[in-house]
Structure 1
Amino acid sequence: MRWKPHGGSGGRARQQNRGLVWVPLALIVVITLADIFSPANIHLGPLLVVAPALTASFGGSRLTALIGLLAVGALLAISEIRSSITTSNHETQLIALVLVSGFTVVFTRVRERHSAELRQVRTVAETAQQVVLQPLPETMGPVRIAFTYQAAADQARIGGDLYAAVRTPEGTRLLIGDVRGKGLAAVDDAALLLGAFRSAAHRGLSLPALFAELEAIVWWGLSQPARDDEEAGEAFITAALVDVPDHGSEVHILNRGHPPPLRLSRGRVTALDPGESAPPLGVCPPRTTPARVDSHPFGPGDLLLLYTDGATEARDDSGAFYPLADRVAAFPGLQGPRDLVEHVREDLHAYTGGLLGDDAALVAVARRPREEDAAGTGVRELPADAGPRAGAQPAEEEREPEPEPKGWAARHAAPTRGLRDPG
């Protein structure tokens, strides 16, 4: 499910606004009758200008023009009944009412055109983001997934938060990241990383080898001449690669400057901090040594929450940051990834009053129970305490040979980029 501002209430709002048309109509009738039955020295006709001005607050230009014409007609009727249509006082009132009504209609028409352009821009931006951020499936092998995305503001439905998931011969791989900046430039950078991940992650590369390829592509993309010097020097992407093998009870994470994922296991919440600090993608030239991968226990019944800093940096009315780990630990009886995502979404909305300072993306992951694996995927997991078989010799741990730097990453070097907080 995709978390975004709701836009389906526009039609109902317009219908409700049209229902308010009786208010200016009633004002015209009341003011007309009051003026007719008032003493000769009391003139209430100028108050008719309130009708078109009020209509412009909820109606369109056509409705405003119609109410303005009715108001002018009412003033002419008052002048005829009171035999004062040729007096300078009523002529002045009539001219003022026509001018104000005309200006109100013009203003309303300009507002309508601006609103139509804004709706078109929002539609294009939202469509572009849906193309870049393809929906994640609910299940991938023995893994269940739920995700959500919330833009910081309704008029800014496009940003640099990104996520993706790919099946490999050995398991499921996920990517979550955050591009520094907003708008089309951030989406372009996000598309660059997502395209590289989707084209390489399924090939069964080790996480260090996959990261080396992504790092080289991002560095190349951010260094293109099409980007001006200031933009190229400040752009970077925080990212975390997550590998959930089909067999075993572990999860492997390669983190580059991204907020650490949270693991929910047996009622406890643990932040899976990286074993070494490393800069985000695009800050430094591609490294020549393999990146470090951290492994953590992750079995059936455990939940893994990936998120962007839009969630942890959200603030309440007092300016306090949203304590994601503490709030997640307090959620009662979570029933899976979707339940976790919905709890965080609703709690975050209540904590901030619906006003986020930055886009927030959440991806929750869980292993399906063993009985579901056996029925649906054929994956069998050994008990956690299962030891080697009797008489079996302990085998030396096999390690995939570390990939030597080659291609673009080995031939190029460049000065380190300046590091700033993603925004």
Structure 2
Amino acid sequence: MAFRAANGSDAPRSHGPEGEGSGRNAFLGGLPFAVMAVVGSVDLLAGPGVGYLPLLSLGPAFASLSCTVRRTAAVGGLALLLCIALAYYDRILGTRANNLTFVSIVGVIAASMLASAFRERRERELADVRTVAEAAQRVLLRPVPRRVGPVRVAVRYVSAVTHARIGGDLYEVVMTANGVRLIVGDVQGKGLEAVENAAVVLGAFREAAYDEPDLPGVADRIERALARQLTGEQFVTAILAEVQPGQIQLLNHGHPPPLLLGSDGTIRVLDPPVPAPPLGLGLGDLAPGGAEPHAVRLGVDDQILLYTDGVTEARNQQGVFYPLTDRVGDLDAIDPESMLDLIQKDLVRYVGAPLGDDAAMLLLRRRTI
């Protein structure tokens, strides 16, 4: 399990998974030859009286796991040559038993080539799907610059869907005439429907953030967009924020409260003064007066950590939720990127398994200049 960094092109990239994949491919590529070498050696050491020739079929069988069709056929050809040479050494060449062994190896070679062909086709299809997913990712969850106005920003995101790059959690940071505005949200549900709803929220935010004079206006535009998209009792929890000189305005719609990490080491949970329902539950039905933002002082080098419930609802092997507020107090870093790296590593160690839900974290730090 690995969180994806979502900052700009200068953000560090992790090469761990790619290195592991290369090592695994090298191992699988050499495995057929190693197996046949072991079979040949054992047959030679055992002497002419004992034959291990049927085990040579393991060579092309293992080759089908990672090799191309041609390479699998080449491995099969080598297995046949070894079969002939060892049969001559065992003095069974041309016997009925040897002929049956030869035919069985040919059958395994044919099956392995077919399996290799199907695997290659599936890998090409998967590569095409990943290309589309990466394109969708760039549109839906665009890279966030490390510096936006008076703050430094870092983001981490992981999808609960295996091999997926995007899911139901969302984030965005934009620089507007009113200052830095951002959103962190969590769409109810998972899969493609959650991705579609996340796209609606982000599209509405990216437009409204530049047009509306205040955060309630931005939230209202998102609410109206969701009213045309959502069905039934679907909803989106979200926090909208606006960075102003010396403070940050927060508008919380049913989302986990952010944490204020003070430069003096204090940690404060930023609960909203008046709870507001999630977005998408109906215009004015549950909050006829409208949600109001609240201001929080943001000093130099203070940090604001926004996150989704995939972080705080992650459980360890004993079923205990990840205590983010307690754990983050033991972590310290000089910049948002390093801080999120520490939180990520601590969360992975705590859970000890893939997360069961999408998870996103966005960390703001007020710059000294």
TM-score range, shorter chain: 0.7 to 0.9
Q: Which residue of 2 aligns with 1:268?
A: 266
Deviation at 1:57, TM superposition (A): 4.0
Deviation at 1:17, TM superposition (A): 3.6
1:11-410, aligned counterparts within 5 Å?
A: 11=22, 13-31=24-42, 33-34=44-45, 37-39=47-49, 42-80=50-88, 84-152=92-160, 154-222=162-230, 232-245=231-244, 247=245, 249-265=246-262, 266-286=264-284, 288-332=288-332, 334-353=333-352, 355-369=354-368, 372=369
Deviation at 1:118, TM superposition (A): 2.0
TM-score if structure 1 supplies the norm length?
0.77
One-letter code of the match for 1:260?
A: P
One-letter code of the match for 2:18?
A: G
Larger Rg: 1
Deviation at 1:5, TM superposition (A): 8.0
Deviation by residue 1:193-231 (Cα, 9 ceiling, x = unmatched):
111111111235122222112211111222xxxxxxxxx
Deviation by residue 1:52-93 (Cα, 9 ceiling, x = unmatched):
233334434333322222222222334455564443222222
> C-alpha separation between the residues in 1 aligned to 2:55 and 2:177?
77
SS in 1 for 2:77: helix
> C-alpha separation between the residues in 2 aligned to 1:49 and 1:34?
19
Cα distance, 1:100–1:262 mapped onto 2, change above 3 Å: same
One-letter code of the match for 1:271?
A: V
Q: Which runs of 5+ in 2 are unaligned?
A: 8-12
SS in 1 for 2:155: strand
> C-alpha separation between the residues in 1 aligned to 2:30 and 2:103?
30
Identity among equivalent pairs (%) = 39
SS in 2 for 1:8: helix
**8 A contact 2:258–2:270 mirrored in 1:** yes
Deviation at 1:185, TM superposition (A): 2.0
Q: How many residues align?
A: 355
Deviation at 1:339, TM superposition (A): 2.8
Q: Which residue of 2 aligns with 1:391?
A: none
Cα distance, 1:276–1:98 mapped onto 2, change above 3 Å: same
Q: Which residue of 1 aligns with 2:6?
A: 2
SS in 2 for 1:330: coil
SS in 2 for 1:100: helix
> C-alpha separation between the residues in 2 aligned to 1:23 and 1:215?
62
Deviation at 1:353, TM superposition (A): 2.7
Q: Which residue of 2 aligns with 1:378?
A: none
Deviation by residue 1:297-333 (Cα, 9 ceiling, x = unmatched):
222221100111111111222222111111111113x
> C-alpha separation between the residues in 2 aligned to 1:48 and 1:34?
16
Cα distance, 1:234–1:5 mapped onto 2, change above 3 Å: farther
**8 A contact 2:182–2:241 mirrored in 1:** yes
> C-alpha separation between the residues in 2 aligned to 1:346 and 1:190?
27
**8 A contact 1:28–1:74 mirrored in 2:** no
Cα distance, 1:20–1:93 mapped onto 2, change above 3 Å: closer
**8 A contact 2:40–2:86 mirrored in 1:** no
SS in 1 for 2:228: helix
RMSD over aligned CA atoms reads 2.5
**8 A contact 2:6–2:144 mirrored in 1:** no
Deviation by residue 1:97-145 (Cα, 9 ceiling, x = unmatched):
2212222222232223223322321232132122111111222221221
**8 A contact 1:209–1:290 mirrored in 2:** no
**8 A contact 1:27–1:48 mirrored in 2:** no
**8 A contact 2:140–2:199 mirrored in 1:** yes
Cα distance, 1:367–1:83 mapped onto 2, change above 3 Å: closer
SS in 2 for 1:107: helix
> C-alpha separation between the residues in 2 aligned to 1:172 and 1:295?
14
One-letter code of the match for 1:298?
A: L
Cα distance, 1:347–1:189 mapped onto 2, change above 3 Å: same
**8 A contact 1:207–1:254 mirrored in 2:** yes
One-letter code of the match for 2:140?
A: V
Deviation at 1:365, TM superposition (A): 0.8
Q: Which residue of 2 aligns with 1:397?
A: none
Q: Which residue of 1 aligns with 2:10?
A: none
> C-alpha separation between the residues in 2 aligned to 1:238 and 1:181?
12
